[in-house]
Chain A
Amino acid sequence: MSQTVLEINELTKQLNRKNIVHNASFQMKKGEILGLLGPNGAGKTTTIRMIVGLIKKTSGKVYINGRDLDEEGRACKSEIGAIVENPAFYDHMSGYKNLEQYARMAKNTISKKRVNEVVELVKLTGAIHDKVKKYSLGMKQRLGVAQAILHEPALLILDEPTNGLDPKGIRDLRDYLRQLADNGISTLVSSHLLSEMQLMCDRVVIMEKGKIINISNIHEEEETESVAGQLVALRVADNHIGLAQEVIAGVKEVTLSQRENGSVLLLKMPYDFLPELNRRLVQGGVDVFGLESRRSTLEDKFLALTSEKSDELQKEAT
């Protein structure tokens, strides 16, 4: 049985009678990396700040390791480590002195050994006694991770952690998170970078306009896709489009999903059927320029979900 580290239940934030976040509910298991996804202004940051207590919630509940945030706030907070937006530090102090500040505020005593251990983990050993104002953004981000995991929290919360990071920094962060997850630390991470989230997370919660519109498991979906329907892009000669469509219409395993710019057709079919389809197209006289499988990205899903939504809205309007 896996343990629930974080549960939010019908979390709502109203400002000036407007719902910034409306009835948001989800759960997180131990060792899970959960992505909170959505466009800017979807309510991700507000949700996160309600969980860490920076923003007062209008209604709803937050449980951390089964404890109610309202009743045992301090016990809950000592289970959380967080970077909220840009990691901010006391620039005129060294990285080490900054960490000492946070170490003193922990509920349990944090030894010098632990501080050095964390410094090593985030690869800041060489620069830790320099003043923070000399740090690059990536170094600050790493120091941010260090302060967040210093007190060995059960739940790590990162709000837009990839903002301003270079590709290598993002990759490093991803590796840290995976390493932490293997040690049983759960991470809640928010971002609007879809491709990043796909690589980083086990599950994603998609938010739009203050509401959770979808929760999905990334790995499961990849598996089911490869059995039932893989997205395949077929590129043929310009004047063979009609011919190709005819061939495809005659094959029951393949369905035409959509026609992309000009001579590319998007098909849905079992992965194993690819060679057979190719054979039939050639036999049907179609000049095939390309046939490749496309893994459906989080972006496709996200756009599909949000466009469904806007379709519904349009229907409602008419």
Chain B
Amino acid sequence: MLPLLKNEWIKLWNKKQTWIFAAAIVVIMFAITAIYYSFIEETTVPQGQNWEIALETEIAEQEEILANENEEWVLESAEQKIEENEALLAAGVDPNITNNMTFMNETLLVAASFITLFSVIAASSIVSSEIDNGTMKHLLIRPFERWQFLLAKFLTVVGFSAALFVLLVLVNLILGTLFFGAGSPSTPVMEMNFDGNNLYTTVDKVLPQKSGLYFLNLLMFIIISFSISILFKSQTLAVGIGIFILFATSISQAFTALLGETAWYKYVFLPHMDLPAYVVRDELLPGVGLGFSVGVLAVYALVFIGASTVYFQKRDLA
């Protein structure tokens, strides 16, 4: 089994595409840093001012509005602002502080969606390309079981994704430190929640959680595109479906709002492809928590892996 893994790993890094993906991650991270940097420049309050005083001043301003205005939406927004600022004060979170840790917390998963994209492409092509150019025949006549080749290829894609992720973290850390200075991993941060209370936490608590959940989703993306490329013998279809799911996931909240009431919706895998959202909320739908989501994904994963392996074990390579 080990020789197969080694072979796959060597083949992977002998492809130009692999190096282009790695380079793209670096370039993308530079771009995100540049955008983030210009954005921060514009909005940051003048340095030297005490952030707690600034928040309190804002609360006072909003209270004045509360007293004088009577239009409902203005009042509501003022109340919300006061509530938020008080929570920030109570949790000790400076909303304007920017260092390499807060930078990583806010940008890591944005850049990581490109890793998902590249992993989908790698997973879709690693089996089908060898079938297309005829080298698969020369693998399957070797003294190994067919599933061992699949396993080696699958693990190689997972390893590739992990390598890209490590690369991303390193580049992110370097750029963040260069542009925003080194900060403590326990820098307090706020995580926005659109339909519930915001979460007040620290980077070292929340970022590993988000990353772990992201990786579970990434694994799911790899499994789906890998399996589809085997079952439908089509690299194009597998890449297409993978990218479709990627986009559909980003608008899955809209689907959830529309279809959340139906009995079957929670058994579809799509709404569970945004696991990092569980960092700020306990339930996606009433009764649908992290455990349920992971369970649904696990069932899908087993079905996909099972079907593609059985098919690959039995198929004739003509």
Contact = CB atoms under 8 A, between A and B. Distances in A.
Contacts of A104: 3, 6-7
Given A92-B15, A92-B16, A104-B6, A54 B144 contact: no
Given A54-B317, A104-B6, A105-B3, A75 B141 contact: no
B134 to A, nearest CB: 3
Chain A: interface secondary structure? loop
B134 A85 contact: yes
Interface in B121-169: 133-135, 137-145
B141 A82 contact: yes
A74 B145 CA distance: 8
Contacts of B3: 104-105
Contacts of B145: 74
Nearest to B8: A101
A97 B10 contact: yes
Contact of B318 (A49, A74, A87, A92): A49
Interface band, chain A: 20 to 34
B316 interface: yes
A73 B318 CA distance: 19
A80 interface: yes
Interface in A104-128: 104-107
Interface band, chain B: 20 to 34
B4 interface: yes
B205 interface: no
B143 A102 contact: no
Interface string B305-318: 00000000010111
B14 interface: yes
A102 B11 CA distance: 12
A55 B142 contact: no
Contacts of A85: 134, 137
28 contacts: A54-B137, A55-B316, A55-B318, A74-B145, A77-B143, A82-B138, A82-B141, A84-B137, A87-B138, A88-B134, A88-B135, A90-B135, A92-B14, A92-B15, A92-B16, A93-B14, A97-B10, A97-B14, A101-B11, A102-B138, A104-B3, A104-B6, A104-B7, A105-B4, A105-B143, A106-B142, A107-B143, A147-B138
Given A54-B317, A105-B7, 17 more contacts: A49-B317, A54-B137, A54-B318, A55-B316, A56-B316, A77-B141, A77-B142, A84-B138, A85-B137, A86-B134, A90-B14, A92-B14, A92-B16, A97-B10, A105-B3, A106-B142, A107-B143
